[in-house]
Structure 1
Amino acid sequence: MDTLLKLRPLTTADIDCASQICLAAFNQSVAHTVSADGIATFFKIASPDAFQARMHKDTFMLVAEREDIVIGVAELREGHHISMLFVRPDQQQQGIGRALLHGLLNHVRSNTVTVSASLTSVPAYEKYGFKVTGEISETAGLIYQPMSLSVDIK
């Protein structure tokens, strides 16, 4: 892992920045693959208010930062489902997503980690070791590929 990269739990002070990172990465890589309904759904999910609400649920959220600047965010829901994994567009392809994933894996409570991967992120998840587990689906305009990763929990 990049020695200058620091992973830490997301705090309420990080929420606006985390939301902006998710929206910027989504707009660059995913928005063109979904309908207007899908874009609206994602904007609701990635809003600061939605992040704030999820902080009080069974969710673990991490940020990656370099020189005190948040550049990535990841979220593990219910100890087994990756619901967010986004890196600032200008910081991608540097191992930050992999570092965030490994950080989340330290907090899993199941031998199977799942993700509903956007179609554009499937190759990245395959590089991380995830396998396709079902048919491409759509919910509220978001198109996704169900995937999973087998892990040994500690």
Structure 2
Amino acid sequence: MDITIADYQTDQVEKKLQKILGNVEAVGGSCPIRTILARFSDKWSTLSIFHLGQAGTLRFNELKKRIDGISQRMLTVTLRALERDGLVTRQIYAEIPPRVDYQLTDLGRSLLVQIIELGDWASNHSNQIMEARKRFDSREPKVVGSELV
């Protein structure tokens, strides 16, 4: 029996999912990559990675100005976490006032490429998602048993 491209792609997806989720049972239900995925899936980390990827190197206040709505404290926490994960480097210059520059590491740039792909997907499918939301939001609520769904 011949294997089709669709079969091959399905097989590859299943293998990748097994690789990602396969250890969950072995480690007591805790997925070891969850904290890594959580790091770059929050909006402040993603926006920081985007802006650093676009600019190359930014000072703290330059980055803060580019990320609408982020507080100084949240940007500090975000950058420290990204630095801890090896995605961002911080260079401190002994000047008055002190100057601190941030930039993506090679690892951070490789992540940026993947996030851009996800952004492209979102852009390419935004109309479908908005339509699905409209259909969902316009549905009449239904009662199943004693619960409203």
TM-score (norm. length: structure 1): 0.25
User: Structure 1 or 2: larger helix share?
Assistant: 2
User: Structure 1 or 2: larger strand share?
Assistant: 1
TM-score (norm. length: structure 2): 0.26
